[in-house]
Chain A
Amino acid sequence: MGLTLTQKILAYKAGYEVKPGDLIEIDVDMVLGNDVTSPVAIKEFLKIGVKEVFDKEKIALVPDHFVPNKDIKSAEQVNIVRKFAREYGIVNFFEVGQMGIEHALLPEKGLVLPGDVVIGADSHTCTYGAITCFSTGIGSTDMACAMATGKAWFKVPEAIKFNLKGKLGKWVSGKDVILYIIGMIGVDGALYKSMEFTGDISSLSIDDRFTIANMAIEAGAKNGIFDYDEITEAYVLGRAKRNYKVFKADDDAEYVKTYDIDLSMIKPQVAFPHLPENTKSIDDVGSVKIDQVVIGSCTNGRLQDMEVTYEILKGKKVHPDVRLIIFPATQDIYLECVRRGYIEEFIKAGAAVSTPTCGPCLGGHMGILAKGERAISTTNRNFVGRMGHTESEVYLASPAVAAASAIKGYIASPEEVA
């Protein structure tokens, strides 16, 4: 039987034939943790009693959720991680000033590469599938054991194929594609499975692909993964400091389902509270006034997202009733925004621009919502209370829609302002 792209990577690492449902134990190429999950994993790691981690270069510790430290408790958590990193000589520990949001940072630094098996104690670890690797979220115990042994166990997943064609329209991006798909298949539509994106993907930039793979978990998927092409190569070359291997699905691979999607038909999408599957096309949104706009996160804090935000905001003003918070996802992206003059325009427009952090995305800090407040956000979850009070609301959308809404004061199409 032919294998899908994900199954091919897992079979290669296992070194023997695999089929969906098989449980395998394989080597991992990168183990990730953040300031919330690493302290728990470190506690478990110490119970194992090994003297060293399996590989000082294959662990990435990225405090990003509550940094720069939000309070004493978060400072203590980060300190546990920092001390562990020093004591065990972890090469990839990212301090404030060098860090970024983990899922934007790792690919940017070339720490995850095509063909890799990556695990992270954070559910959005699935983001790196954009560059044709297998990456998935796991628990703290998994992280602890992988730090000791370099291994993790997996159940070989079945796959759903998304056969793409056509070109995205103006102001339509990867975020609209993934919201559209989740609206179609539901929040458990890909439970356990791989979402494999193939067909004509040439109109999707690498940043679009990161956004799409990032939200595979919002459909319940184990991972999301894209075919490898020139766009992947252009991104990876120059970042990779080691060799990598390119995999392709077999021609006779079996998928549990195939969806044909014409990208040119997708309109900007908005996910209404309180589930990412409650999507509507921008034309059907109606009148929704907003109090806050958040542009950033591991979903949409990359350069392309900043670029489209700039195009919409330049020379305009944020609506007086709206707070606009923009947080570029990494230091490099932030710096490039400064060089290109984006930050100046953001500030002139009336936006607050933040250093990289998860901040408001998980209701952590830097933009919490009060009771009854409503935000439109480029993040990935709009669960009850995700950005603050349990009676606040989060609408998910692309940076283009979010920026347009910031100007209008209600959820607006980019066409209304551009």
Chain B
Amino acid sequence: MEGKAIKYGDNVDTDVIIPARFLNTSDPKELASHCMEDLDKNFKDKVKPGDIMVAGDNFGCGSSREHAPIAIKESGISCVIAKSFARIFYRNAINIGLPILECPEAASSIEDGDIVSVDFETGVIKDITKGIEFKSQPFPEFIKKIIECGGLVNYVKEKVV
């Protein structure tokens, strides 16, 4: 998977990803239309399907709202790479089928606008613009499957029904 990097800093919290005032809906499209707007008004105009969000430490800190990863996913972001994630965001992202990778080296080196590719099989992240390669820990099989299925509910459904 390949896309343009959209880069943010440290401590991007769930309130800027999707502000509480928009939580009266759980419609992904509506959530996506407000995604990141308190941090970056232009986000929804510049994001293209397949783009990769890159951020610093503690991405997704704050509340446990699942609306946050849903809004990012629905915007077209194919993957989030960060130095670190807040833990409930991390699992909520995977559970709703948004791939995320923790890789401090990649997250510091990649710059806004770089073209980046990600291989979930191997965990290799490539900054194609700069010609640098980074290695993150690849997902184990079942996490890969969760993401392939489009989330935990679908994954479980396939297994149990």
User: What is the interface of chain A, defined by CB distance below 8 A to chain B?
Assistant: 21-23, 25, 40, 44, 47-50, 121, 123, 137-142, 144-145, 148-149, 153, 155, 188, 191-192, 220, 222
6 residue pairs bridging A and B, Cβ less than 8 Å apart: A21-B137, A40-B66, A141-B92, A141-B153, A145-B153, A148-B156
Give the number of A-B contacts (CB < 8 Å).
77
Chain B residues positioned under 8 Å from A145 (CB to CB): 95, 152-153, 155-156
- A49→B157 CA distance, assembly (Å): 7
- A47 lies within 8 A of B153 (CB): yes
Looking at B45-53, B72-80, B83-91, B107-115, the stretch in contact with chain A turns out to be B83-91
A141 touches B96 (CB 8 A): yes
A141:B84 contact, CB within 8 angstroms: no
Q: B160, A192: Cβ atoms under 8 Å?
A: no
Contacts of A48 in B (CB 8 A): 153, 156-157, 160-161
Q: Mark the stretch among B1-9, B31-39, B138-146 that contacts chain A.
A: B138-146
Q: Is the CB of A23 within 8 A of B84?
A: no
Chain B: CB-nearest residue to A140: B66
Scoring B88, B91, B140 by chain A CB atoms within 10 A of each residue's CB, the highest score goes to B91
> B159 interface residue, CB < 8 Å from A?
yes
> What residues of B have a CB within 8 angstroms of the CB of A22 in the complex?
140
B88 touches A141 (CB 8 A): no
A47 touches B143 (CB 8 A): no
Q: Are A137 and B64 touching (Cβ within 8 A)?
A: yes
Q: Which residue of the partner chain B has the closest CB to A25?
A: B142
List chain B positions with a Cβ less than 8 A from chain A: 58, 61, 64, 66, 84, 86-88, 90-92, 94-96, 137, 139-140, 142-143, 146, 151-153, 155-157, 159-161
Minimum Cβ distance to chain B for residue A392 (Å): 17
Is the beta-carbon distance between B86 and A142 smaller than 8 angstroms? no
Q: What residues of chain B lie closer than 8 Å to A192, measured between beta carbons?
A: 84, 87
Alpha-carbon gap, A49 to B160, bound state (A)? 9
A173 CB → nearest B CB, Å: 28
Residue of A nearest to B137 (CB): A21
Cβ-defined contact, A142 with B159, below 8 A: no
Known: A48-B157, A139-B95. A123 touches B61 (CB 8 A): no
Question: B92 touches which one: A21, A50, A139, A220 (CB < 8 A)?
Answer: A139
A154 and chain B: residue at smallest CB distance: B91
Contact present for B95 and A188 (CB under 8 Å): no
Question: Which residue on B lies nearest to A46, using beta carbons?
Answer: B153
B153 touches A144 (CB 8 A): yes
Alpha-carbon distance between A145 and B96 when the two chains are bound, in angstroms: 12
Contact A149 B58 (CB under 8 A): no
Cβ contact within 8 Å between A137 and B88: yes
Q: CA A151 – CA B117 in complex, angstroms? A: 33
Task: Flag if A142 contacts B152 (CB, 8 Å).
Answer: yes
In the complex, what residue of chain B is closest to A122 when comparing beta carbons?
B64
Is the beta-carbon distance between B139 and A23 smaller than 8 angstroms?
yes
A134 to chain B minimum Cβ distance, whole angstroms, is 14
In contact, A44 and B90 (Cβ under 8 angstroms):
no
Residues of A within 8 A of B151 (CB): 141
| Cα-based distance from A141 to B155 in the complex (angstroms) | 12
Q: Contacts A155-B90, A188-B61 given; indicate if A49 touches B161 (C-beta within 8 A).
A: yes
Contacts of B86 in A (CB 8 A): 191, 220
Query: Closest CB of chain B to A139's CB: distance in Å?
Result: 4
Distance A171 CA – B61 CA, assembled complex (angstroms)? 34
Q: Is the CB of B160 within 8 A of A139?
A: no
Task: Return chain B residues, CB-CB under 8 Å to A191.
Answer: 58, 84, 86-87
From A151, which residue of chain B is reached at the shortest CB distance? B156
Q: How far is the CA of A155 from the CA of B93 in the complex (A)?
A: 14
Whether B87 and A141, one on each chain, are in contact in the complex, defined by CB atoms closer than 8 angstroms, is no
